[in-house]
Amino acid sequence: MSVRKAKSIWNGTLKDGSGSMNFSNYSGPFSFVSRFENGVGTNPEELVGAAHSGCYSMFLAALISGEGLSPEKIETLASVTLGKDETGPCITNIKLECNVKCSGLSQEKFSELSVAAKEKCPISRLYAGGTAEIELIAKLG
């Protein structure tokens, strides 16, 4: 399978610093304000939402296609909630809202496939079951 890369750079303290995230054809700023308040730039939770909504939509398309149907449009909005638990900030909820346009797809089959996509898309599996081993190579200096 493939390995994808993304890079971020952070300069300064948490509240006064700023950073940039870079991957593929995207490069943009992020900051304390863009993450915890309403400032210009992106934040990790938006990127989690983008990854999850994209993955879910593609997986649902694969499942619908497996039924011999061709979805015209799958639009998914992911709302990612950043909260707090006893150890600190954490993502407490991801809500996926999906609208599909597909001729010939019954409500019953759509319900079955949409749940299966939520349970089986790689990003859902990562968050629900902790499927990834997280490796760390850290260097100082």
- Map out the domains of the chain with their CATH numbers: 43-129 (3.30.300.20)
Range 50-59 burial, b when 16+ CB lie within 10 A, else e: ebbbebbbbb
Percent of the chain at pLDDT exceeding 90: 70
pLDDT in tens, 47-89: 999 999 999 999 999 999 999 999 999 999 999 998 888 998 8
CA distance 111 to 28: 37
Q: What's the pLDDT at 132?
A: 67
Q: Which residue has the higher pLDDT, 135 or 17?
A: 17
- With contact defined as beta carbons under 8 Å apart, do 39 and 31 qualify? yes
Q: Structure pTM?
A: 0.89
pLDDT per residue over 17-39, tens digit each?
A: 999 999 998 899 999 999 988 88
For residues 86-101, give the mean pLDDT: 91
What is the pLDDT at residue 116? 94
- pLDDT of residue 140 exceeding 60, the answer is no
3-state secondary structure of 28: strand
Cβ atoms of 123 and 52 closer than 8 Å: yes
Confidence of residue 129 (pLDDT cuts 50, 70, 90): confident
What proportion of the chain, given as a percentage, has pLDDT over 70? 96
